[in-house]
Each structure stands twice: as C-alpha cells, then as structure tokens.
Amino acid sequence: LTAMNTVISTVEPKLLSKVAVAATNGPKSCVLAGDSDWVQLVINALPEGVGTSKLAVSHAFHSPMMNDALVPFCEVLKTVTLKCPKIPIVSNLEGKFTYNSIAKPSHWEAHLPGCVKFSAGVQTLIGANVNVFLEVGAHPTLSTMGMQCALKYLGKGPKAKALAWITSMHSMKTNKETM
C-alpha cells in the first residue's frame, strides 16, 4: 500500500463524520481535515513510518466541518453567473474533465466539503497527453505534487521527462528568477 492508501484505509467509516480525506494529492500525500482531536486519533492509528505534518489553515476545508458554511456560500453563489468553460478543464472535485457540471451551483456546493482529487486530475491530464503544466500561485507546491504524480503514473522514463512543470512565482525568489 502507498502511504496515501494507508491513511485512507485508517479513516474508518465510523470516523467519516469527524475526519475526512480532504485531498488526495499524490502517491505519498493526502490531507485529513476535521476536528483536531479526531484527526489526532487517526494519526495515532497510522503504522510506523507514515509521516504527517500539520497544515496551517483557518478551517477544515473540504470536510464535513464546512457544512455550516454551505448556506451562506450558496447564497453568494446565487449572485454569480456561472458559465461552461470554453476550453477543457479538469475538476478537482471529480478528477476528470468537466464541461457542464462546473457551471452548476451544485458542483461548487459539493466542492466546499468534498475531497480534492488532485492526483486523479493530474492522471487525467497526463492520459490526455497534456505535457505542459503551469502553476499560478505564490509557491510551487502543486507543481511538486504534480511531478510526484507523474512519476507514479509514468515512472522515470522519457514520457515523464518530457513533461514541463512551470511555476509563475516562488516565495523565496523574485518573479524574474522564477520565470
């Protein structure tokens, strides 16, 4: 089992109301979210050698703990005009290409408490022969996770080496150095 599968299998169904797998980011990376005491119970149940680190976040995003925010979130969502994308887009909610669903409020309502399927999304893009990945953000976190996913799916062969992972910013470098 990969570390991620070990963590996911440790979150037993009886704990799912308290702890959720908030993101599947790669072969060795997933995020748990929920009540901190319950998350700690899951961490304590993990086999020796499975590493953990606490994320500095304000809320238990992508978990049932976000359910209280759904009503106000949906009220604001009603004021937004959603449209179908004009270019193919992979949804982190589904981990696959989406067209019409992303233009429906129900997609975003499910996304707030739902698991982010980053790893599946990267696999979908690689399967569609996408070979250039651009991360727009303050630090190249997603690019690093994407590279780990690519190594899992493709190994270290020429197809993996042909992928380009481009970052737009880095918190420790100037924009000119990064680009």
Helix, strand, or coil here: 32?
strand
- Sort 157 into a burial class: Cβ within 10 Å, 0-12 / 13-18 / 19+: exposed
Give the pLDDT band (50/70/90) at residue 13.
low
Lowest mean pLDDT among 9-13, 122-126, 165-169: 9-13
pLDDT score recorded for residue 130: 95
- Please tell me whether the overall predicted TM-score, pTM, comes out greater than 0.75 for this model: yes
pLDDT above 90 covers a percentage of the chain that reads 40
Count of all residues that appear for the chain in the document:
179
What pLDDT does residue 179 have? 62
Q: Is the pLDDT of residue 17 over 80?
A: no
SS3 (DSSP) at 26: strand
Mean pLDDT computed over every residue of the chain: 85
Q: Give 33's strand partners.
A: 20
Give SS3 for 122.
Answer: helix
CA distance 25 to 164: 19
What is the Cβ-side half-sphere exposure of residue 145, based on CA atoms within 13 angstroms? Answer: 21
On the question of pLDDT at 16 being above 80, the answer is no
| pLDDT the model gives residue 150 | 93
Alpha carbons 126 and 86: distance in angstroms, whole number: 20
Burial of 90 by CB count in 10 Å (0-12 exposed, 13-18 middle, 19+ buried)? buried
pLDDT score recorded for residue 1: 41
Interior/surface letters 15-36, b for 16+ CB within 10 angstroms, e for the rest: beebbbbbbbbbbebbbbbbbe
Q: Which of 120, 131, 123 is nearest to 159 (CA)?
A: 131
Flag whether pLDDT at 6 surpasses 70: no
What integer pLDDT is reported at residue 14 of this predicted model?
59
State the DSSP code for 90. Answer: E
Residue 103 pLDDT class (50, 70, 90 cuts): very high
For 23, the enclosing helix (H) or strand (E) is: strand 19-26
> 74-102: per-residue pLDDT in tens?
999 999 999 999 999 999 999 999 989 99
| Residue 4: per-residue pLDDT | 58
Measured CA to CA, the distance from residue 32 to residue 54 in angstroms comes to 9
Q: In the chain, what percentage of residues exceed pLDDT 70?
A: 85
pLDDT tens for residues 59-77?
888 888 888 899 999 999 9
